[in-house]
Amino acid sequence: MKKYLLTLIFIFAANQALACACGCGISNVGTSSIIPNCEGGTVFTQYDYMAQTRNWHRNKKSDEHNHDQKIETQTITLGGQYMFNRDFGVQARIPYVNRKVASMMHGQEDEHGHHSMIDTYNRNTNIGDIRISGIYSGLFDDMSTGFIFGLKLPTGQTNARGFSRNAQLGSGSYDAILGFYHKKPFGQTNGGYFLQASLEKPFSYHQGYKQGEELSSGIGTYYSFNSFGAIKSITPILQVTSAFRKSDRGWADSSHNGNSGYKFFYFNPGLEIALDQYKLYFDVGLPISRSVKGTQLVPQNTYKVILGYNF
């Protein structure tokens, strides 16, 4: 169970450096939260993939024109957590983001005054917004409930050429992060349940732009099967995640305030495999419902793989 509980957070911890108002938030559930159950540390590498290819208006597909035709994002996050004792710990996450944006723009005007449409393709690969958090798990002796207090740093690039403001790798602002978690086994069995919530609130505007506040949450259940040879445990996980984000604000021309903000619900079945001090986790996010403000590109499925090491 130790290795499961240390990894459990990672099912929620998709990188929030995707500061993209057109549909990235479902990957943000539980960012900067960790579910500890003992002293010690964990380091991990996480890979996330998401392709936003579907144009959405409110809660259904839309044929309306959207400047961006596709946004494809791959993120590798290096992270670590250390619990100094049963009450206090720290966590850090450093994301490295590869984002490609395919857009359609007006070309030259012909003799009849009509503009042709031309495809453009832009790519940016760089560090995203780094997150540093403190953990308090001293409410109960079993460490079943705790709080996260964190800060997101404006380390992600905000001026990449060919990217709209809400598709940049960084938000440009310092953000406060407040999280909560609770976990509990089902009696003396190998199963249990968990729930989490995380709120991220920007402090200020950056160059006329302020990203909307976002509340992410998740609830799920698991059951661990004991050792199979070299495998110490196999744990199927079923969870439902959600992301609620307010519209962006600002006076910059590229803020696109009317086409930002969303409500997403996803079903995320996953599997964790523990091998001694190592653990491997992967899941797929399947959309349950999606609702956006204005017109935005939304993702279909999301994918996540995590390799962790306990010490």
Share the mean pLDDT of the chain.
Answer: 82
Per-residue confidence (pLDDT) for residue 255, from 0 to 100: 60
Overall residue count recorded for the chain in this entry: 311
Average pLDDT over residues 101-118: 58
Per-residue confidence (pLDDT) for residue 105, from 0 to 100: 62
Q: Which of 1-10, 106-115, 137-146 has the lowest mean pLDDT?
A: 1-10
Per-residue confidence (pLDDT) for residue 8, from 0 to 100: 41
Average pLDDT over residues 69-79: 92
Average pLDDT over residues 143-158: 93
Q: 296 versus 229: which is more confidently predicted? A: 296
Per-residue confidence (pLDDT) for residue 11, from 0 to 100: 37
Q: For tokens 């009317």, what's the residue?
A: 258
Instruction: Check whether 212 has a pLDDT greater than 80.
Output: yes
Give how far Cα 287 sits from Cα of 162, 233, 298, Å: 29, 29, 10
How far apart CA 10 and CA 12 sit, in angstroms, is: 5
Per-residue confidence (pLDDT) for residue 38, from 0 to 100: 76
Per-residue confidence (pLDDT) for residue 230, from 0 to 100: 83
Q: For tokens 């199927």, what's the residue?
A: 236
Instruction: Check whether 33 has a pLDDT greater than 50.
Output: no
% of the chain residues with pLDDT over 70: 82
Q: 176 versus 60: which is more confidently predicted? A: 176
Residue 257 CA from chain centroid, whole number: 21
Average pLDDT over residues 174-196: 91
Average pLDDT over residues 151-162: 91
How far apart CA 222 and CA 204 sit, in angstroms, is: 39
The residues, ordered by sequence, that sit 6+ positions from 208 with a Cβ below 8 Å of its Cβ are: 250, 251, 252, 255
Per-residue confidence (pLDDT) for residue 12, from 0 to 100: 39
CATH of 2-310, one of 3.40.920.10, 1.20.1250.20, 2.40.128.130, 3.40.1390.10: 2.40.128.130
| DSSP, res 11 | G
Per-residue confidence (pLDDT) for residue 200, from 0 to 100: 94
284 neighbors 303 (Cβ within 8 angstroms): yes
Average pLDDT over residues 155-165: 87
Per-residue confidence (pLDDT) for residue 260, from 0 to 100: 87
Average pLDDT over residues 64-75: 84
Average pLDDT over residues 267-284: 90
pTM above 0.95, yes or no: no
CA atoms within 13 A on the CB side of 226: 2
